[in-house]
């Protein structure tokens, strides 16, 4: 465009095909769809070849275009206020860029769909069974049917039309891959100003931002219905519906009307005539599905914004780089293992698990000029000395909060958190406090969530202990002859032996450890976190 302006424009097109099984032995969940490959399968449990289900489960994207834009400008102001601000022609560079970047969905997510019914048999009894008769329920002696030996069906076989699916039921711990999934993508954008302060020193101010879209995570495909649970109690169902009762069989007295959402089943032998029996409270997929059936879906999103300041000096005998970042990262799932609230993904939005607000790092290398200070000594003694180090001082990572025990009455507890009832008080874990030693935050700020509620605390909203660590090294290189040399190095990790604590425990159900720090971060080769030193030598020729 101009000598001091550069513009780059581009677009990338890529095709990302989801992973698939070459024999079609994968499965997924599509509520309301009946399998035609296995007509005896429960409603919603489908395989490749069923209506609308390709071999990849989700479609291949052919319209993933990624525009890219970059611009660089070097102000040419020589005089006046702008000349002083920008340092004159060629002393400052202003850069900005924007781009969309797609990524493939990793094979791990498909792996969870491999080996489930009918191409594998993993069965969990909905109720406790006898030890000596593992297919007989303890409470009523009802048989759950012997399911072994197991014969693997062949995709496309005519025998699949009449396959006995009862041996697989209820289906548990079998995730479904959303058939509408698309490749995740991110928008990256930045703006930077780089100013030459001297011939060897450069200052950079930058803003960096990222927005992640259609990120892969999980949510419960077949949760319990807490409203149904409470309604059953109002109707006098036995046993009483409560925590971890999603898979329990409930009995209503003769004359009682079952709730509209409930799935009724035949009552066990010995139940009073006229009673109504209900197959738990998991009313999304029906009684043929049980616990921990998740959906793998494009349900997550993320955002990251950061201001960065960098000073870099490159001189003959001394080089250093100092950088400070002030940032914030948020999402509703920081990884595949962090489930998203199935009712509303926004309820899971919080600080990202990797969010660090403040981060300062300085690194340096100094070629110590002993030969100038001690010129009369032999050069082999005074030359080749070097000091180097890296110091990092940063804030901590967010503390992850959770509460087990199924207070939400939906099963799993993957999104349950406690209630917050006061200000979170942070204290130094090195000192004894009201709750004893090693306490980072006082647990009094939290209380158990109510039955039928997820808890009102954010899953991650305050940070744990920060990091303060310095690594340092000194080396001496001696040239024996032109092509032969000897080097000896002494290196220290966590030079000042500063204790860097891991995050405190955030599981509200463990009062002995909730809010306490019980371990330190690992640094150095041995991973102990303590100061470590090592000496090494190298001979080159």
Statement to judge: residues 13 and 87 lie in one domain? yes
Total structural domains in the chain?
A: 3
Statement to judge: residues 169 and 54 lie in one domain? yes
Residue ranges with strand state E in 171-293 = 176-177, 185-198, 201-220, 249-252, 264-265, 276-279
pLDDT tens series, the chain, 541 aa: 688 899 999 999 999 888 888 888 999 999 999 999 999 999 999 999 999 999 999 999 899 999 999 999 999 888 888 888 888 888 999 999 999 999 988 877 677 777 888 998 877 777 788 888 888 888 878 787 777 777 889 888 999 999 999 888 888 888 899 999 999 999 999 999 999 999 999 999 999 999 999 999 999 999 999 999 999 999 999 999 999 999 889 999 998 999 999 999 999 888 899 999 999 999 889 888 888 888 999 999 999 999 999 999 998 889 999 999 999 999 999 988 899 999 889 999 999 999 999 999 999 999 998 888 787 788 778 888 999 999 999 999 999 999 988 999 998 768 899 999 999 999 999 888 777 789 999 999 999 988 888 999 999 999 999 999 999 999 999 888 878 888 999 999 999 999 999 999 999 999 999 999 999 988 755 567 888 999 999 988 8
Does some domain include residue 311? no
Statement to judge: residues 116 and 232 lie in one domain? no
Q: 166 by DSSP, 3-state: which?
A: helix
Taking CA atoms, 491 is separated from 94, 380, 494, 531, 537, in Å, by 39, 22, 10, 11, 11
Statement to judge: residues 42 and 173 lie in one domain? yes
Residue 354: per-residue pLDDT:
95
Does some domain include residue 195? no
Residue 527: per-residue pLDDT:
63
Residue 366: per-residue pLDDT:
95
Statement to judge: residues 96 and 156 lie in one domain? yes
Say if CB 504 and CB 464 are below 8 A apart: yes
Statement to judge: residues 128 and 245 lie in one domain? no
Residue 112: per-residue pLDDT:
76
Statement to judge: residues 22 and 84 lie in one domain? yes
User: What is the C-alpha separation between 230 and 539, in angstroms, rounded?
Assistant: 76
User: What is the C-alpha separation between 315 and 201, in angstroms, rounded?
Assistant: 8
Out of 161, 186, 211, a domain closes at 186
Statement to judge: residues 168 and 80 lie in one domain? yes
Q: 317 by DSSP, 3-state: which?
A: coil
Does some domain include residue 182? yes
User: Which residues, other chains included, contact 118 with Cβ-Cβ below 8 Å and sequence gap of 6+?
Assistant: 27, 38, 41, 153, 160, 163, 165, 168
Statement to judge: residues 144 and 261 lie in one domain? no
Token digits of residue 260: 């509209």
Statement to judge: residues 181 and 275 lie in one domain? no
Statement to judge: residues 182 and 233 lie in one domain? no
Does some domain include residue 362? no
Does some domain include residue 291? no
Does some domain include residue 292? no
Residue ranges making up the domain that contains 149: 5-186
Does some domain include residue 63? yes
Q: What is the pTM of this model?
A: 0.87
Does some domain include residue 436? yes
Residue 26: per-residue pLDDT:
92
Statement to judge: residues 267 and 162 lie in one domain? no
CA 281, chain centre distance (Å): 29
Residue 526: per-residue pLDDT:
58
């Amino acid at each position: 465009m101009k000598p001091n302006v550069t513009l780059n424009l581009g677009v990338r097109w890529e095709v990302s095909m989801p992973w698939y099984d070459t024999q079609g032995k994968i499965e997924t969940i599509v509520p309301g769809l009946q399998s035609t490959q296995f007509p005896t399968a429960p409603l919603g449990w489908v395989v490749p070849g069923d209506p609308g289900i390709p071999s990849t489960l989700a479609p291949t994207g052919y319209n993933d275009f990624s525009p890219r834009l970059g611009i660089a400008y070097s102000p040419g102001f020589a005089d006046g206020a702008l000349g002083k601000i920008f340092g004159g022609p060629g002393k400052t560079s202003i850069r900005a860029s924007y781009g969309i970047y797609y990524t493939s969905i990793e094979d791990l997510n498909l792996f969870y769909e491999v080996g489930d019914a009918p191409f594998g048999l993993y069965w969990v009894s909905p109720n406790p069974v006898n030890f000596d008769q593992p297919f007989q329920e303890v409470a009523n002696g009802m048989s759950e049917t012997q399911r072994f030996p197991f014969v693997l069906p062949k995709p496309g076989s005519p025998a699949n039309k009449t396959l006995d699916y009862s041996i697989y039921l209820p289906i548990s711990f079998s995730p479904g891959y959303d058939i509408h999934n698309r490749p995740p993508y991110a928008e990256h954008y930045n703006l930077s100003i780089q100013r030459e302060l001297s011939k060897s020193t450069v200052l950079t101010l930058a803003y960096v931002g990222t927005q992640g879209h259609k990120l892969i995570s999980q949510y419960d495909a077949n949760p319990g219905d807490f409203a149904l649970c409470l309604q059953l109690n109002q109707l006098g169902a036995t046993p009483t519906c409560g925590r971890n009762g999603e898979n329990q069989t409930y009995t209503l007295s003769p004359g009682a009307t079952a709730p509209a959402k409930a799935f009724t089943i035949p009552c066990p032998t010995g139940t009073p005539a006229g009673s109504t029996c209900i197959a738990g409270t998991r009313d999304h997929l029906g009684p043929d599905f049980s616990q921990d059936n998740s959906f793998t879906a494009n349900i997550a999103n993320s955002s990251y914004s950061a201001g960065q300041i960098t000073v870099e000096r490159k001189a003959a005998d001394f080089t250093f780089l100092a950088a400070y970042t002030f940032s914030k990262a948020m999402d509703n799932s920081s990884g595949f293992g962090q489930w998203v609230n199935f009712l509303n993904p926004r309820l899971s939005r919080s600080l990202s698990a990797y969010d660090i607000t403040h981060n300062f790092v300085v690194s340096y290398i100094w070629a110590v000029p002993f030969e100038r200070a001690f010129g009369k000594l032999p050069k082999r003694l005074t030359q080749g000395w070097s000091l180097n180090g890296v110091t990092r001082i940063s804030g901590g990572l967010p503390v992850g909060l959770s509460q087990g025990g199924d207070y939400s009455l939906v099963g799993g507890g993957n999104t349950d958190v406690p209630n917050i009832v006061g200000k979170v008080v942070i204290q130094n874990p090195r000192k004894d406090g009201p709750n004893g030693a090693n306490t980072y935050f006082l647990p009094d700020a939290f209380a158990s969530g109510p039955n039928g509620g997820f808890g009102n605390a954010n899953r991650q909203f305050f940070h744990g202990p920060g990091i303060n660590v310095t690594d340092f090294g000194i080396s001496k290189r001696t040239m024996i002859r032109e092509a032969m040399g000897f080097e000896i190095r002494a290196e220290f990790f966590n030079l000042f032996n500063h204790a860097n604590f891991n995050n405190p425990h955030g599981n509200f159900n463990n009062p002995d450890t909730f809010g306490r720090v019980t371990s330190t971060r690992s640094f150095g080769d041995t991973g102990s976190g303590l100061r470590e030193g090592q000496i090494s030598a190298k001979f080159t020729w």
